[in-house]
Amino acid sequence: MKKLLLLLTLGLLNLHADDGYRLWLRYEPVTDSALRDIYRAALSTVHFQSPVAAVNPTIDAATHELLWGLRELLGIDMQLQGTDNAATALIHADGYRLRFDREHGVTISASTDLGLLYGSFALLRHVQLGLPLEGLDVVSAPKVERRLLNHWDDLNRHVERGYAGFSLWEWFYLPEIRTPRYRDYARACASIGLNGTVLTNVNADAQILTPDYLTKVAALAAEFRPYGVRVYLTARFSAPIEIGGLKTADPLDPAVAAWWQTKVAEIYRAIPDFGGFLVKANSEGQPGPQDYKRTHADGANMLADAVAQYNGIVMWRAFVYSPDNDDDRVKQAVSEFGPLDGKFRQNVIVQIKNGPLDFMPREPFSPLFGAMPRTRLAAELQITQEYLGQSSQLAYLAPLWKEVLDADTFAHGPGSTVAHVIDGTLRHQSPSVIAGVANVGTDRNWTGHLLAQANWYAFGRLAWDHTLTSEQIVDEWTHLTFGSDATTVATINKLLLGSRETVVNYSMPLGLTHIMAEGHHYGPGPWVDKLARADWTAVYYHKADESGIGFNRTAAGSNALAQYAPEWQQLWGNPETCPENLLLWFHHVPWDHKMKSGRTLWDELCHRYQQGVDEVRSMQRDWASLQGRIDDERFTAVAQRFARQELDARDWRDACLLYFAQFAKRPFPAGVEPAAHPLDTYQSIKLRNMPGHR
């Protein structure tokens, strides 16, 4: 008995409190003694094989990581042996080859120092996952060249749509004071293959381009450099006026172009490996070339010319919808940018949000990916969960991103997936770019919701290799983050994989979209109807009336469908063949329409909202079953968030169903729980001091 008690106590003691700071780089000791012995024997020496001659800060970082990681994992002091080998030049870009053979042990080969660093992280991952060394021989190279986080961080450290504390960049204290967190950030990015970061909000502040701030930016760049993370900035188009004293920012005015050239030279003097600019222009009140009756191409090219000699790029955002265009909002990016195809410089990349609207829980892929064959295109994904419950709710986003990356634009015949458009393989275009709007901040665990770390991880892994599946990525992440207890891993994998669909069910099922509360975008607001712009309201999108619900985007409606390939038009154009998860995106459907389940549309809608709530409860139960298997600190933090999510899911269901019932005029089907409050209670909720929202 005594022995049993002792064992139990030891077992519990093993579950160290964990605040989540270490992310997926926990390097907990390998506990399986047989495996540990094999690893110890094989990894006492690791070989670096590379033509990179001198030791430099990146190789130092790789060496340090391996030494430290293997000491933590295996309790050994690894010896590193370097060999020069020109054959490694065959390894593409910053890729690596990781192999084991009995004679030499483990060798990491790469043609660049960064490749060695990525290979080192891959080896450490391999050990943490407990995978066999026998037969190990992988070659892995990034499919997309520039894999960037986009931070929507303001200079006062507020993060637009940031739900994990303040901005990581301590502008006031830079350049002298540099928190170790900068290195930790870059190291985390490098561990998943990210190689760039846009430091500032797309709603840009010209101050970042002043000499004082550039010194601060240079300090951050120096911190990130060993880890291969290059910095980029957002450029406010009117900067020549705001900080340059010019009267105009007209891109065709030679004085404006000259101002940018001088500014760019100054930037590269301070930051020789500066990556380039990200620009939001003529969108949501931001200045841009159209203020001078010039096109987006005129604006982008002027900046592109300024950075070209330094190998810099300009990422020009396609998230543009005009104040005086009352055509269906989801059509506007194609109508604006389609005609400019072929007019952009080689170093301009048009950066497109995954869907034609705005990071909704579900929307079809943006048709712009198939509409600009002669232009370099990047995908912008949103890691921060602006429309998916922010940091209180669980939504693992890899399935959403895969849906888009794997979607076929048919632009060059079948197989022209979004992934192949953006990785440049379809049309041999370089540079290729993928961007994710970051979900990190000063919260101790980086992402607010501990499980939202999986989204940062998944973005990096997919940016490196878009052929990975959501399942593979989640399985890696869970092992790395929670260890290898089979029940824990299976339970968390299941929770994560279903979580996005659950959010869709209780918030915007069946292709509904943009019906969240105004401004902060947290919680329901299907009644939102009077705002400065019609296309900011909810009623614009759901169009519920007595005859039915949904937005008719067929030829009989806005005809947004015509922006897609005929294959999609055929499938989506007919309510009988349109997948039900996009039904109300493309069609206005009668309440009595027969769904695949045999239910009417109204009953199905009610059922989906209820299903969403039920699924949250089931996630809650699954999580509860892990008590004692993971440390209390992380267990409790997540359990509290599930409790909040259950409450929020009920609010979504009740508010939306009560609201839509006014039009459907039908009873709630059996199995749908009665609402807790009357509709006007939900309508009167005013959330204040919301994180991420000014």
Show which residues are catalytic. 284, 358, 386
- Write out the two tokens for 373: 């064959």
Nearer to ligand BDP, 212 or 284 (CB): 284
Nearer to ligand BDP, 60 or 284 (CB): 284
* 36 is an interface residue for ligand BDP by CB under 6 A: no
Question: Within positions 386 to 445, which residues make up the interface with ligand BDP, using CB under 6 A?
Answer: 386
Q: Which residue is nearest to ligand BDP (CB)?
A: 358
Question: Where do we find the tokens 């029940």?
Answer: 487
Query: Running DSSP on this structure, what letter comes out for residue 112?
Result: S
Question: Where do we find the tokens 């099922």?
Answer: 509
Query: Hey, which residues does 159 pair with through a beta bridge?
Result: 153
Question: Within positions 70 to 109, which residues make up the interface with ligand BDP, using CB under 6 A?
Answer: none
In the list 153, 154, 160, 408, the residue contacting ligand BDP (rule: CB under 6 A) is 160
- Least distance in angstroms from the C-beta of 318 to ligand BDP: 10
Contact criterion met (CB below 8 Å) for 280 and 286: yes
- Least distance in angstroms from the C-beta of 356 to ligand BDP: 13
Radius of gyration of the chain, Cα coordinates, nearest whole angstrom: 26
Contact criterion met (CB below 8 Å) for 27 and 68: yes
- Distance of alpha carbon 144 from alpha carbon 341, whole angstroms: 21
Count of residues in the chain: 694
Nearer to ligand BDP, 319 or 551 (CB): 319
Nearer to ligand BDP, 100 or 319 (CB): 319
Helix axes of 57-74 and 113-128: crossing angle, nearest 10 degrees: 10
- Least distance in angstroms from the C-beta of 319 to ligand BDP: 5
Residue (of 173, 162, 164, 172) closest to 201 by Cα position: 162
Nearer to ligand BDP, 118 or 319 (CB): 319
**Would you give the binding string for ligand BDP spanning residues 312-331, x where CB under 6 A is met?**
-------x------------
Question: Where do we find the tokens 């349109």?
Answer: 578
Nearer to ligand BDP, 353 or 587 (CB): 353
Nearer to ligand BDP, 219 or 516 (CB): 516
Contact criterion met (CB below 8 Å) for 147 and 436: no
Residue 74: partners with Cβ closer than 8 Å, 6 or more residues away: 29, 30, 36, 39, 40, 43, 127
- Least distance in angstroms from the C-beta of 357 to ligand BDP: 9
- Distance of alpha carbon 108 from alpha carbon 63, whole angstroms: 12
**Would you give the binding string for ligand BDP spanning residues 651-670, x where CB under 6 A is met?**
--------------------
- Least distance in angstroms from the C-beta of 165 to ligand BDP: 17
Contact criterion met (CB below 8 Å) for 143 and 466: yes
90, 95, 100, 105 alpha-carbon torsion, rounded to 10°? 90
**Would you give the binding string for ligand BDP spanning residues 161-190, x where CB under 6 A is met?**
x-----------------------------
Nearer to ligand BDP, 161 or 593 (CB): 161
- Least distance in angstroms from the C-beta of 452 to ligand BDP: 18
Contact criterion met (CB below 8 Å) for 461 and 473: yes
**Would you give the binding string for ligand BDP spanning residues 199-228, x where CB under 6 A is met?**
---xx-------------------------
Residue (of 311, 412, 426, 411) closest to 366 by Cα position: 411
DSSP string, 455-498: HHHHHHHHHH-TTS-HHHHHHHHHHHHH-S-HHHHHHHHHHHHH
Question: Within positions 267 to 296, which residues make up the interface with ligand BDP, using CB under 6 A?
Answer: 280, 284
Query: Hey, which residues does 109 pair with through a beta bridge?
Result: 49, 97
Nearer to ligand BDP, 26 or 158 (CB): 158
Total binding residues toward ligand BDP, as defined by CB under 6 A = 10
- Least distance in angstroms from the C-beta of 481 to ligand BDP: 28
- Write out the two tokens for 646: 């259950």
Nearer to ligand BDP, 459 or 602 (CB): 459
- Least distance in angstroms from the C-beta of 97 to ligand BDP: 39
Residue 513: partners with Cβ closer than 8 Å, 6 or more residues away: 357, 360, 361, 362, 363, 541, 542, 584, 585
Q: Hey, how many other C-beta atoms are within 10 angstroms of the C-beta on 324?
A: 4
Residue 410: partners with Cβ closer than 8 Å, 6 or more residues away: 370, 416, 565, 566, 567, 568
- Least distance in angstroms from the C-beta of 368 to ligand BDP: 15
Contact criterion met (CB below 8 Å) for 296 and 333: no
* 363 is an interface residue for ligand BDP by CB under 6 A: no
Nearer to ligand BDP, 286 or 600 (CB): 286
Contact criterion met (CB below 8 Å) for 527 and 681: no
- Distance of alpha carbon 480 from alpha carbon 461, whole angstroms: 14
Nearer to ligand BDP, 329 or 607 (CB): 329
- Distance of alpha carbon 100 from alpha carbon 108, whole angstroms: 9
Which amino acid, one-letter code, is at 233?
L
Instruction: Please give the C-alpha separations between residue 46 and each of 116, 188, 392, in angstroms, as whole numbers.
Output: 12, 22, 43
In the list 94, 154, 223, 358, the residue contacting ligand BDP (rule: CB under 6 A) is 358
* 231 is an interface residue for ligand BDP by CB under 6 A: no
- Least distance in angstroms from the C-beta of 161 to ligand BDP: 5
- Distance of alpha carbon 593 from alpha carbon 489, whole angstroms: 41
* 569 is an interface residue for ligand BDP by CB under 6 A: no
448, 454, 457, 459 alpha-carbon torsion, rounded to 10°? -100
- Least distance in angstroms from the C-beta of 288 to ligand BDP: 12
In the list 359, 457, 568, 642, the residue contacting ligand BDP (rule: CB under 6 A) is 359
* 635 is an interface residue for ligand BDP by CB under 6 A: no
- Least distance in angstroms from the C-beta of 492 to ligand BDP: 29
* 503 is an interface residue for ligand BDP by CB under 6 A: no
Binding region for ligand BDP (CB under 6 A): 160-161, 202-203, 280, 284, 319, 358-359, 386
